[in-house]
Every structure is written in structure tokens, then in C-alpha cells.
Amino acid sequence: MKSKWGIPRFMPLKTFINPLNGYLVDDTCVFRVEVFVAKSLGLGECLTLKASPNSVCHEWKISNFSTLGNECYSEEVKSVSKGCWAYLGRKPFDFLCLADSADETVKATYAIRLKGKDGKMHQRTGSNWFNGPNKGRGWPSLPLKTVQNYLVGDVCVVEPEVKVLGTVELLYHGQGKSADAKFVNKNTVLDLKSLHRFNFTAHNSTIRCFKPLSGITTEYTDVSPAHYVFKIKSFSLFSDNGMDIYETNDFESGGHKWRLILYPNGDKSRNGEGHVSIYLAVSETSPLKVGSDVNAIVRFFVFDQIRDVYLVKQGSSTRFRAMRSKWGIPRFVPLENFKDQSNGYLVDDTCVFGVEVFVIKNSGIGECLRLKKGTSSHTHEWKIPNFSSLVEESCYSKIFIAGDQEWKVRLYPRGDWRERNKSLSIFLVLVDSKKLAPQVSARYSFRLRGQDGAVHEGPKGSRWFGRSSSSWGWSCFMLLERVRDFLVNDECVVEAEVTVLGTSGKLT
């Protein structure tokens, strides 16, 4: 029902034809279009920060330490949150590792202590995200001499302490337009109806407000982000836990891996104080090589939970490269506006962000339109003898040349399938249109000539002829009962007048 969309008032004509503006120079102009089909990946994650996290300590005694080889040794620590923590040691290395939590990312502060005689202790602390390729965190090189200073007999006493500040669960949501779509984390169903809305048409569901000075456009839309959704519970705990930056899990779009980066209290290094800062970065797991630049359109979302719409900000085409693999908006939303619950972005300390990234892959396709100046028409006369005895469904004239193109006339003496036995049907046909690269714009008309200068002048047509539509004309050109009045000795005289206005071919 709706297969077309565009901008009726794309540019004032007066502005366009002024050569000083550069759009129309030497009567030549260039238009361009890019189409990005937003196929929902159904990916996202939910970050839950803990209000009052508890720490867990565990003591691990390693006997006969001096006789141990270079193997990796581990000790399971009791469950903390939803993950199982373990301390792993390899002489003379040590580190902390999160195990058995394939779909979780965990933020934790931790300490590893070596306990010796008389309360003597060596301690190191850290704070990291544990996930996927980074399940192991700690210190890769603890000198063996240091360890030996804390042995009790030949026993090494290790005490890891862990405090989980927050967890991240991957979200999956189904395709389709149902407002009852749910985000699913394997066996856990989280009802987030508001995240997946009905897909309204772009011009009805979107309000655009252009900001040419910054190069960032702003719009509001009902349609949820197609590529990645990031939900945060307990947003205020970012500050309480000293978390200035958060990087999401990787997601793939356009043949590349990406991650969303959020500065909840602003990226001060980019003049983002007092704002939420948001960026898209090429994943470190698949970095770009020098010379392998990626051009993309990036759209950032934040959900208005009161009005059921997303605020969307989009930049112009961005080039990601090995030396500059991150782009974003340091002043995405003022913190004051973001935290004001009446604006709908942060409700019950929960918010939702999202991102879409459309990689621009040059297809190298285009066309060039050449309009002819001072066009002249060509008239071709076709005499058809023994007209009343024709038995063919249709017949063709000889090929003739008009505007450097080959044409012929097709006539249905008893009418085509629409006007069978009712009317004379007649059409102009572009010859070998499937072999021709260009499309041809032509104005055309047909006449029937009878006795004593009688002429039936048909309507005038103007169409583009090409591969998809090589024939244009009229099914009901003249009623069959009137055609007899224009026959001369059973001969039908048809004239076709053709004027080629322009051609359109592949751009080379």
C-alpha cells in the first residue's frame, strides 16, 4: 500500500538553479541516494548495579609449595552473585578468574593477599569487568622471591577477596512487529514490552529537527534500535561505585564487530561534562588494519519510557580507521535533563540506550541522464494492406529510427486482451530494449489516415522506455466499428510520430 517515500520540499528551486551554489553547473547536476535496510539483530544487554555489595573472602592453603611444577592450580570459591569465582595460580604467576558464567559480564573489585607469619601480608587490589575473553583478571607476574618470603613452612596461604558491583545479562528478542515481544535471556524471560514497538512508517513516526552547525540530526521514533539495546538498572550507582565508563559486549553489523561505550557522567576529555556521553567503537577483538577504513552511519538511541518513543541522534557519514576506531557524541543528553524523571529517560533509576550502525559499502552503481536540446520529431508511415482479413493477434511495422534509437509499432487489429473485439489497440515499442543500457524518454502519438484527407489524431503520450517497460500506447485507440471508415481499399494507414527527449544510461 505504501512503496514510496521521499521529501517533497527537498530544496528550493531558486537555490538549486543558482550556479553560485554549485548544485547546477553547466546545466548539469548530481543526485545521490543511500538505502539502509534496518534488519533487527535482536541483540542487547541488561546491566544491573548492586546497591550494597558484600565482599567474600576465601582462604586457600597450598601445601608443599616448593615442590609444585609449572602447572595451573585452582581453588573454587563459594558462589558470589550468579558466578563462581576461582583463584588460579601458576608459579610464579597469579590471577583471579570468573568461571561458569558464559552469558554474564561481572563488574567486581578484588584483592589477592599472601599471608605469612605473625600477621605479615602482601596484598594487591584491582577493579575490572570479567567476561568472555577477559574472564581472568589479576597480575601476570608475582616474583617467586616475594612468594617465598610469605611461606609458612612450605605452605603458601592465599586469600582472595571479591566484591561484585554489578552484572550484565545478554538479551535476545524476537523478530516481528508485536508490541508484546519479549527479551529473553535463555531460560529467563524479562518482560520489556516498551522496547519493541509497532513499526510505523518513517514519515508518520519520525519528527526531524536538523542542526547543521554540529552535523548532528535529532529525531523521535517509535521503532526500537535494530542492532543493539543496552538497558541499565540502578543508573545512579555508577557514581557510587566509581564507574566512569562502561563498554558493552560485542555485536556484529555490516561485517564488523562493534561495542557501545557509555560515560554516565560525561567524557571530560571531550568537553562532555554535565552530559551523558555515548560512543561506538570497533571491537578490540577484531581491530581494523591500516588502510582498511570503514565508512558508516551511526544512530544513537535513548528511550523515553513515558511517551513510548526513542530520542535518536545521528551524525553524518563517519570514517572508522585503525588510528581512529571510535566515534560518538560527547554531549549526547544533558545530565540534568536525563535525570529529570518527567522527561522519561530515567525512570525508577532504569534507562535504555541503543545503537544502529549502517556500514556504507560502495556498490559502484549509478546512471547519467542526458536531456536533448532542440529535439525534433520523426514521423513513420505504415501501410497495412488487406486489413479486414488479418488473422494474426498482432502485427509489427518495419523498424525505423528516431532520436538515434530503433523503434517499431505494434498493432492489434482486433484489440488486445483488454479490448478484444472492441477496439483497435496500438503501441510504440523500443527495439532490443533488453540489450540496451539506457532508458529512453519519448513523446509519441498515432494517427489513422483515411480518404479525402480524413485523419484520426490520437492522444499524445510521454513515457520512459527501457528494460522493464519497452512498450507504451493505448488499448482503446479507436472503436473497431469506426476503423472501417478510415480504410482505403481495405488498407489501413498508420502514422507514428516520435520525439526522443532524453536518454539515461549507466554512469561510467
pLDDT for position 207 = 36
Q: How far apart are CA 395 and CA 201, in angstroms?
A: 46
Please give the full DSSP string across 278-324, using - where no structure is assigned: EEEEE-TTSPPPTT--EEEEEEEEEEETTTTEEEEEE-S-EEEBTTB
pLDDT in tens, 161-210: 888 888 877 776 543 333 333 332 322 222 222 222 223 233 333 333 33
Grid coordinates of 199:
513499526
Q: How far apart are CA 53 and CA 501, in angstroms?
A: 76
The gap from C-alpha 194 to its chain's centroid, in whole angstroms, comes to: 21
Q: How far apart are CA 231 and CA 202, in angstroms?
A: 25
pLDDT for position 182 = 31
pLDDT for position 82 = 46
pLDDT in tens, 276-328: 999 999 987 777 777 778 888 999 999 999 999 999 999 888 888 887 888 99
3-state helix, strand, coil in the chain (%, to 5): 10, 50, 40
pTM score: 0.60
Extended strands (E) in 372-454: 378-384, 395-396, 400-402, 405-412, 423-430, 439-449
| CA-based radius of gyration for the chain | 37
pLDDT for position 178 = 31
Cross-strand partners of 191: none
Domains of the chain: 49-169 (2.60.210.10), 197-359 (2.60.210.10), 368-506 (2.60.210.10)
Query: Which parts of the chain have pLDDT scores under 50?
Result: 81-84, 92-94, 96, 98, 100-102, 174-213
Q: What are phi and psi of 237, to 5 degrees?
A: -75, -10
pLDDT for position 79 = 52
